[in-house]
Amino acid sequence: MQAGSEDERVLIAGGGPTGMAAAMFLASQGVPVTLLERGKGPHDDPRAATYHPPSLEMLEPSGVTDELHRRGIVARKWQYRDRREGLVAEFDLQVLEGDTRYPYRLQCEQHKLVAMMQKRVAASPFATIRQDAEVVEVAQDVAGVSVVVRDAAGAHATLRGRWLVGADGGRSVVRKSQDIGFEGFTWPERFLVVTTTFDFEPLGFAYSNYTMDPVEWTATFKVPGEDERGIWRCVFPTRPEEGEAELLDFARAADRLAGFVPQSRAAKVIHTNLYAVHQRVATTYRRGRVLLAGDAAHVNNPLGGMGLNFGLHDAHSLAQRLGKVWRGEAPDSLLDQYDRQRRAVAEQYLQGQTIANKQTLEERDPVKRAERQAEMRAQAADPARARRFLLRTAMIEGLAAAAAIA
């Protein structure tokens, strides 16, 4: 049985990780929610798969963190490598054991996380999930928000709620409906993801790796796979002139892998995916009764595994504040703090760190590259310096900075 009347609820556009997390966090507080998802279930395309310590802490009360541990891969260490020279530096997140209950990364595919959260949302008496419900129009007034949704057959329906959370991705209809800017840029190259059965671990790779090269850097990490026995993903930059069909071709992807690690020639390519890469942040996360979170609010390159986690952190921060507003424990100006905090760290930490990660991997100046690698070795060898570095890359520092914004 659902709590609350049909229009006394929070509407959430988007059933990806951010939207589903927002629904789960709100419903756990007794806030009625209706989640609108244009598809019929979690997308199983290879997407994000890395969870940083703060995300595991936020998901812990729901039981999702325990389930991620049962089905995922704990990556205590990660490496910087050089395509020609091999291992540069290895960072051990165990130095963060005094800062978090989870001093490691955990790797498990995004669609599995969404399914875990969806199961909990669907079981809540405070939540409704409407699939095949694409948001096409949004209007708001002083009392609430009206949303028009369209199903696959083209039929339209109008729903009413007190608040609307736009978690509907980088092309967000919700954001566009409110004329909110999305400032930043798009990288000229697309990123190619190649999933393979080849096992990089016997070659000395950690479960998460970033390999520098001025021509073709690579990010390599292990994920459970559908049988949860383990497969590997490699992310490569591509040249703007390369065609999509050529890039996605399995035989050509196998050639690219073999160029990176010749031993991979005998293994299978089991999936390829190609996507454009952007660095953008919305000019505001709140317009009246409409709030943005996740990719609707910010997009970034995937190096460092931060985008998915940042969306989860948005959902957690927003749900904490919206829950208080819903219960009358705080004025709705508390939602302006959500905007100030999350947008500031998106600009300073999310964008800054992910852009720096890409620039580090593709550095063309041999002197600068050597200097950066020397710095990495020194950081990894000094526990105090490694801790300071990992507090930032593990997203702990950014959350602390957000909390300090009034």
Strand 269-275 versus strand 298-299 pairing type: unpaired
Radius of gyration of the chain (CA): 21
Q: How far apart are CA 111 and CA 271, in angstroms?
A: 15
Q: How far apart are CA 370 and CA 323, in angstroms?
A: 50
- Token pair listed for 205: 């790779």
Residue with tokens 């009764």: 289
Q: How far apart are CA 99 and CA 403, in angstroms?
A: 16
The DSSP code for 275 is E
Q: How far apart are CA 386 and CA 321, in angstroms?
A: 34
At what angle are helices 334-345 and 396-403 packed, to 10 degrees?
A: 140
Name the helix (H) or strand (E) containing 91: strand 86-92
Q: Hey, where are the domains in the chain?
A: 10-78+105-184+282-362
CATH 3.60.21.10 fits 10-78+105-184+282-362, yes or no: no
In order along its 406 residues, the chain shows pLDDT tens digits of 345 567 899 999 999 999 999 999 999 999 999 999 998 866 666 679 999 999 999 999 999 999 999 999 999 999 999 999 999 999 999 999 999 999 999 999 999 999 999 999 999 999 999 999 999 999 999 999 999 999 999 999 999 999 999 999 999 999 999 999 999 999 999 999 999 999 999 999 999 999 999 999 999 999 999 988 999 999 999 999 999 999 999 999 999 999 999 999 999 999 999 999 999 999 999 999 999 999 999 999 999 989 999 999 999 999 999 999 999 999 999 999 999 999 999 999 888 889 999 999 999 999 999 999 999 999 999 999 999 999 999 999 999 999 999 8
Give yes or no for a contact between 100 and 395, defined as CB atoms under 8 angstroms apart.
no
- Residue 396: how many CB atoms within 10 A of its CB? 19
